[in-house]
Amino acid sequence: MSKNKLISVEQAVDYIKDGMTVMIGGFLGVGSPNKIIDALVKKGVKDLTLIANDTAFPEVAIGKLIVNKQIKKVIASHIGTNKETGRQMTEGETEVELIPQGTLAERIRAAGAGLGGILTPTGIGTVVEEGKRKIEIDGKEYLLELPLKADIALIKGAKVDKNGNVYYRNSARNFNPIMAMAADLVIVEAEEIVEIGEIDPNEVITPGIFVDYIVRGDE
């Protein structure tokens, strides 16, 4: 019998301490664990390093953590939809590291897959290559990009069974499956929690072994 993975949202945010590195799934708020984010905002955990595709909008999902000044450093591919992120960056309040989206995805995947890095042609000849090793393979240049991991990954699933097997819906999948593999502790917010066996093993997208805890979402 495996452990009971179901916890309250309050218990979930208790795992998140000041100064930690946290990955949060979602693309412009779609597929983000909103209930956990709201609880984080309420609790006021601070100095977090955030790894996410984007910082959504000021009033939406991850964007609220930015507005509430809980983030010390943002690692993302795009911040243009949240003016507050840009303001904090320009005024030196928050450090922002911008990474091409495909490189961000592969660096996260590499961390979860036990790889020492990945070689990508993306960013060659741009500011992205600064300070990075270039490696030539068969006459073509690549950048060595290193794995990116986190203390905690906060992800969101449409349907999750009590083993933590996750099924995502539509474009809400995005970064969630790869983040689930790249953190020491993984908490999934489930729109719907079902009994073991209710998700066909063929339809499981993130296997439950990657998931430590499950929080019941509001939707």
Partner 1 sequence: MDKQRAREIIAKRVAKELKDGDVVNLGIGLPTMVANYIPDGIDIILQSENGFIGLGPVSKSGEEDKDLINAGGQPVTIKPGGAFFDSATSFAIIRGGHVDATVLGALQVDEKGNLANWMIPGKMVPGMGGAMDLVVGAKKVIIAMEHTAKGKPKILKECTLPLTAAGQVNLIITEMAVIEVTERGLVLKELGPEATIEDVKANTEADLIIADDLKKMEI
3-state DSSP call for residue 110? helix
Out of 9, 105, 193, 214, the residue judged to bind partner 1 by CB under 8 A: 105
Burial of 137 (0-12, 13-18, 19+ CB in 10 A): exposed
Of residues 68 and 81, the one with the C-beta less far from partner 1: 81
Specify the residue, 113 or 196, whose C-beta has the smaller distance to partner 1: 113
In terms of CB distance, is 168 or 213 closer to partner 1? 168
Do 119 and 135 meet the contact criterion of CB atoms below 8 Å apart? yes
- DSSP summary character for residue 113: H
79 binds partner 1 (CB under 8 A): yes
CA dist 180 and 188 (Å) reads: 8
Of 59-78, binders to partner 1 (CB under 8 A) are: 76-78
- Show contacts with partner 1 in window 148-207 (CB under 8 A): 158, 168-178, 205
Q: What is the DSSP letter of 30?
A: B
Closer of 76 and 199 to partner 1 (Cβ): 76
Residue 123 phi, psi (nearest 5): 100, -10
3-class SS shares of the chain: helix, strand, coil, % to 5: 25, 30, 40
* Count of positions on this chain that bind partner 1 (CB under 8 A): 50
Interface residues with partner 1 (CB under 8 A) are: 27-31, 53-54, 76-81, 86, 89-90, 96, 98, 100-106, 108-109, 120-128, 158, 168-178, 205, 219
